[in-house]
Structure 1
Amino acid sequence: MHSDRNNNDHSPIYTELAGKSNLLVSFGGIRQGLGIPVFEFFNSLNKLDCDKVFIRDFNQAWYHKGVSEELNSIGAIKDYLQELLHEGNYKRVCFIGNSMGGYAAILFGNLLKVDAVIAFAPQTFIGRLKRFYYWDFRWANEMKALHTSDQAETDYFDLKDILRKGIGTHTQIQIYYSKKHRLDKNHAERLKDSHDNLVLIGMSEGDHEVVKALRDNGQLMQIITEAFQ
């Protein structure tokens, strides 16, 4: 395995690996981790009997630039996770993420054909034209840096294209989003009918921070627990 896992607040990869039968991989979002502090999130999952990995992209580049010198591309992250899955021989694997992390959870979850993906308010496209078409100008500086980077992999810019390829057809995908947030609603609902096992859950609360609303009303733990059943 790789040496990036220093388990401190400045490490891109934080792990709790104890030989459990299930694995939860969480992908951090723009500036906000999973929408709640990293260690608070892990503490909230103490009762969940599974191995845990939390990955953060300090480059703020939707994981296209990787997360470290060693894991410096989407392909390198995919290989790292593939090795982790192979060594753990897990019964069930769930990838989750919020916002940018939701994009990563869907992307890597599909590429690696994991059992379940849970995404909260994810971006489902990050290319210039689609963003202009949907009038999505959020994170302009981060997007400009990504679009001008030679590490940007345009084949992965639109998750609808990835899902339609049918790589991970058995992967169960749940997307939670606020029906009152125009952009999150657009990002989520455009994926309708693009994957056989995709479920869209529109919420009336939470705005872009639906994960906080789910945590506060007690549903977050239940949602994650059910992914392993």
Structure 2
Amino acid sequence: MALTIDTVLEDRDLTLRWLPGSARRMVVVFTGRGAGFGGAPLDEFAGSAARRGENNVLFVTDRRGSWYSAPGLWSKAVRLIRYLRRSEGIEEVVSLGNSMGGYGALLLPQEMRVRRAIAFSPQLTLDRDLTDDGRWPDVMKRYGWMPARNVGETFGATRTQYYLTAGKACREDLDQLDFAPDLQRVHRWTLPAARHNVAGRLKDAGLLYDVIGAIIRGRKARVETLYQRYAEAADAPRGPAIPVEGETR
């Protein structure tokens, strides 16, 4: 059945799109930097987040690719997310994103109660004083301060469960995971045979839908089983397919 997704706001900075569901849960999907451009899908993770109509899904797109640093953009997005949470009677919020979208998904718990934050290949900081990761524009030079210089520094003040996944073959993404604190609420995995495209590799393996569904429900053991299955299919070396808590590589 085709998903009916309505645009509820669009201006030069921000697009919000809404997919209604039957549950009192809202998944806020922060789309990646290329969403809607060059043929990239605007509504990333639509099927995995909606769960066949169960969840309400709000897609948040930073049209400038500013990492939510364009003047007033982040505060506007948060204000509208809060409004929809109230008006739709939402009882549980989950955030989800890839790359730049992962930064947004990890940042939202600073602003409101988020049960779980899910990020694939997340970029936790673009501050050139903290990282030599030059893959992305110098957004602070272009737009001003990011909403959080290092989003990992916001984790300690929340009660959110964080789920971070990166590809082992991408050194820059492994370095980004190091900015996440070592807390019991922070769960991180690195997967073989994947670079910055770890979500795409899981989708190609037919596992992304189940992985996201398991995380939304807080079933960490199920996530680890699925990641083990992925690692075995990728001909990973014998031994643990995933790191123990606190390890990033």
TM-score between both structures, scaled by the size of structure 2: 0.73
For residue 5 of structure 1, give the secondary structure of its aligned residue in structure 2. strand
Q: Which residue of 1 aligns with 2:231?
A: none
Q: By how many angstroms is 1:226 displaced? A: 2.1
Contact 1:121 1:209 in 2 (8 A): yes
Paired amino acid for 2:107: L
Q: 1:36 to 1:196 in 2, by over 3 A?
A: farther
Contact 1:48 1:225 in 2 (8 A): no
Q: By how many angstroms is 1:180 displaced? A: 1.8
Q: 2:17 aligns with which of 14, 20, 27?
A: 14
Paired residues in the alignment total 207
| Mapping of residues 1-229 of structure 1, within 5 Å | 5=8, 12-18=15-21, 20-32=23-35, 37-39=41-43, 41-43=45-47, 45=50, 47-65=52-70, 72-131=72-131, 135-139=132-136, 142-143=137-138, 145-149=139-143, 152-154=144-146, 156-164=148-156, 166=157, 168-169=158-159, 171-193=160-182, 195-229=183-217
Paired amino acid for 1:103: Y
For residue 190 of structure 1, give the secondary structure of its aligned residue in structure 2. coil
Contact 1:189 1:200 in 2 (8 A): no
For residue 105 of structure 1, give the secondary structure of its aligned residue in structure 2. helix
Q: By how many angstroms is 1:40 displaced? A: 7.1
- The one of the two structures with greater contact order (alpha-carbon pairs below 8 A, sep at least 6) is 1
Q: By how many angstroms is 1:5 displaced? A: 1.4
**Cα deviation code 1:194-225 (max 9, x no counterpart):** x4411001111220010101111222111222
Q: By how many angstroms is 1:155 displaced? A: 5.8
Q: By how many angstroms is 1:89 displaced? A: 2.8
Paired amino acid for 2:16: I
Q: 1:85 to 1:197 in 2, by over 3 A?
A: same
Contact 1:22 1:228 in 2 (8 A): no
**Cα deviation code 1:93-118 (max 9, x no counterpart):** 21100100000100013321211111
Q: What is the distance in 1 between the residues matched to 2:28 and 2:147? A: 23
Paired amino acid for 2:24: S
Q: 1:206 to 1:91 in 2, by over 3 A?
A: same
Q: Which residue of 1 aligns with 2:239?
A: none
Q: Which runs of 5+ in 2 are unaligned?
A: 1-5, 218-249
Q: Which runs of 5+ in 1 are unaligned?
A: 67-71
Contact 2:16 2:61 in 1 (8 A): yes
TM-score between both structures, scaled by the size of structure 1: 0.79
Q: 1:113 to 1:76 in 2, by over 3 A?
A: same
Paired amino acid for 2:41: P
Q: CA RMSD in A?
A: 2.7
Q: 1:114 to 1:39 in 2, by over 3 A?
A: closer
Q: 1:18 to 1:174 in 2, by over 3 A?
A: closer
